[in-house]
Amino acid sequence: MEPISLNGKWKLYWRTQQEQISAQLPDFSKLQNIDAAVPGNVEIDLQKAGILPDIYFGDNIYQVKPYEFAEWWYLRDFKVNKEFIDNGAELVFAGLDCFADIWLNGKLLGSTANMFIEHRFDVTNSLIPGNNQAIVHIKSAVIEGRKHRHDVCEEALPINHGSLSVRKAPHMFGWDIMPRVVSAGIWRDVTIQPHKANRITEAYYFTRQLKKDSAELGVKYQFQTSEHDLNRFQLRISGRCGSSRFEKTIKPYHTFGQTDVTIKNPRLWWPKGYGKPNLYKVELELLRNGRLLDRRIENIGIRQIKLDYTETNSKENPGKFLFTCNGIPIMIKGTNHVPLDALHSRDAQRLGGAMELLDDLGCNMIRCWGGNVYEDHSFFDFCDSHGIMVWHDFAFACAFYPQTDEFQKIVAAEAESVICKLRNHPSIAVWAGDNEVDSLCMYFAGTDPGRNRLTRQTLPKVVARCDPYRSYLPSSPYYGPQVVAANNPDLAPEQHLWGPRDYYKKPFYSQNNACFASEIGYHGCPNISSLKKFISPEKLWPWQDNSQWFTHSTNPDPDVDIFRYRIKLMADQIYHLFGFRPKNLREFVLASQITQGEANKYFIELFRAAKWRKSGILWWNLIDGWPQFSDAVVDYYYSKKLAYHYIKRVQTDICIMITDPEDEYCSVVVANDTLKRAAGSFKLTDADTGKILLKGKFSVDANINKTLARIKVNPDSQRMFLIKYNVGERTFGNHYLLGKPPFSFRKYYQKWLKQISTLPDRFDYRQIGE
């Protein structure tokens, strides 16, 4: 029998949360009510009903605050036939936000307190033939969070203390990239799923060994049956990827077991640029006397991904932070994944567009940032099929969380649920304990991050128990005992390079010692066409002392001045590069986007040119989760900033770039991030004179860099070099900005940018100021 979907129209009732939550259902006739959509968030329903305005426009986001203190009831009637009930069933919430009681036909089934994970309730004895009624009562996360007794070891930003014990996405309490929206809702699918008397409950696949012409696939399984004797049972494992096939049938002696399958001449899964992301369609079938009882189908990859790192890195004692796949070092070029929307029921509809951008940019890794939710299978399916590795933080960020036994149990259950759901996706490269909690301990609390039970004990134990063949990193960035003893975060091989956010070639950036940058970025103003969608006409300009610009900077409260500095930061970054203050909005947008584009291009080239001393960069970030001024290279409305085009050019698998001068010479370097030798031709031109400065042919071996030439320059002259090169039948372009600021904004925009935009993979730069 097919599951019954409870998605669609529900009735939503609410009131300000009572001091004492009653164990009985209220008199719904006395409560306000509107129609609601599931999956959904209460704020979306309130907007559709005309109770709230568009909360993403102007200063309207602050009108959400009073609803933080409401309690909500979702009601839905549905029908079930007797046959469905006789077989047994579960009511399944794929995402429920967050403190909820679930009722069915007047009977309390149970409660939830975690938005991240799936919740299941046995309803075999609660369903009735014919009409049924489900009720979900969601309590205020803010009020429930206040019931937590905080220990003095706990730390958070002032606006985020309420999130410490609440298992909701951390950003929902207010962040520098997301507004404060402490939402509620049934935000993912709701279904009633039938039981099977005989069913596969778990299947875990891992690549045990890779040889020259074969691979050993490890398979671990569990199943349930009402029968005592297993003599008549079989398990059949089969898989196919193109012409590659395998099949094996085993006799189980217990409902849990394991087996290995030898695959001759396997088609391996590779990251983007290094080969095809081959996927095997694998079927695990439970049989009795040859008759099919249950089947589980998954797409898996035959690969071994490892993270190899040292605890410290210095010029005197170089370290490493290196991802390898199938024994091959991988040069990482990618980005950070932040919330797709402040209201997470909309994530699914925004996912496709965001992932297409990710693929178009040539990213071979994406980091799922710890302030977000855990994405669903569709996110990882895309990464699996496009060769995009996933660095996955657990959902902890910028705070020192409760250390109690009770909280450790909650986290362990959450991690187990997430890992067991996602672990067969070959794209997942590493589980990371959190985002910047080690940094918070050292920088702000002055304490040892090694005392964090979550990332040093609880999470690594769950990973070792549930996904033992995948790497684990305690924190991002991780500060091990040697870094802590030296009290020097710069010794860490992996770093988040934010720093002063001034001129992007200052020593903080140009002379950084990191082997791997997992965060680095630069602000860029959205296009004017996008600004008009979330800023009132009278507030579009000037940027100074502009309440709506502050709101979208992102300020969590009109009376809290935490992130307003980010608007001036954007203006200052323009001044550092061009030495002027824009006099109108069009100038501001253009200058800001040029500055962001040059900065991001420089960061990526800085790391690529230093291969393998540096092994990867994950810039911040791809796309906004709400309308704002930010580091994203695509705004909330999918409008691309100039940085998008610059990044796309310097993330090609084979890229020719120019490094900054040393001893009056710039190096022309070709980077080959593939497993094949590459050859082609190139031409270097002066953008002002059109003079060809250098041209020729090149060849470069697999997975290395090669210096093609050194050209003498005057480091103090301000010039633009245009690069055009061919590899096979494809033509590529790049550019290099020589000299020291301030540069002429007029010259850059009116002369240089026009030429940059006409290089191969051309783009329409005129839309920037529209």
What is residue 131's DSSP assignment?
E
Residues sharing a CB contact under 8 Å with residue 692, sequence separation 6 or more, in sequence order? 683, 684, 685
Query: Which sign does the torsion angle of CA 47, 50, 51, 53 carry?
Result: positive
Distance in angstroms (rounded) separating the CA atoms of residues 609 and 614: 8
Q: According to CATH, where is 2.60.120.260 located in the chain?
A: 4-194
Query: Right CATH number for 654-739 from 1.20.1530.20, 3.40.50.10470, 2.160.20.10, 2.60.40.10?
Result: 2.60.40.10
What residues contact 596, with CB distance under 8 A and at least 6 apart? 522, 523, 524, 573, 631, 633, 641, 642, 643
Q: Which tokens sit at 589? A: 């947008």
User: For residues 91 and 124, what is the distance between their CA atoms, to the nearest angstrom?
Assistant: 9
- On whether the CB atoms of residues 380 and 425 are closer than 8 A, the answer is yes
DSSP SS3 for 630:
strand
Strand arrangement of the beta sheet that strand 256-264 belongs to: 199-210, 214-224, 256-264
pLDDT confidence of residue 110: 96
Q: Give the three-class secondary structure for 497.
A: coil
- Domain at 322-529+570-650, CATH homologous superfamily: Glycosidases (3.20.20.80)
The pTM score is 0.97
Residues 22, 71 contacting (CB under 8 angstroms):
no
Residue extent(s) of CATH 3.20.20.80 domains in the chain: 322-529+570-650
The C-alpha atoms of residue 265 and residue 485 are separated, in whole angstroms, by 48
Spatial separation of the C-alpha atoms in residues 767 and 770, rounded to whole Å? 5
Architecture per CATH, domain 199-300, reads as Sandwich (2.60)
Instruction: Assess whether the previous peptide bond of 435 is cis (omega < 30° from 0).
Output: no
Cβ atoms 768, 589 nearer than 8 A: yes
528 residue type, one letter: I
What's the N-to-C CA distance of the chain in angstroms?
54
The segment(s) of the chain belonging to CATH 2.60.40.10 are: 199-300, 654-739
Rounded to whole angstroms, the Cα distance separating 535 from 551 reads 10
CB 72 within 8 Å of CB 137: yes
Grouped pLDDT means (10 residues each) for the chain, 770 residues:
94 89 85 97 98 98 96 96 88 97 96 98 95 97 95 92 96 96 98 93 97 97 95 97 97 96 97 98 97 97 98 95 98 98 98 98 98 98 98 97 98 98 98 97 89 98 98 98 95 96 95 97 97 98 96 89 90 97 96 98 98 98 98 97 98 98 96 98 97 97 98 96 96 98 97 95 82
* C-alpha torsion sign, points 507, 511, 514, 519: positive
Quick one: pLDDT at residue 485? 95
CATH number of 4-194, picked from 3.40.50.300, 2.60.40.10, 2.60.120.260, 3.30.420.40: 2.60.120.260
Cβ within 8 Å of residue 477, ≥6 positions away: 436, 438, 439, 489, 492, 494, 495, 496, 518
Q: In this predicted structure, what is the pLDDT of residue 679?
A: 98
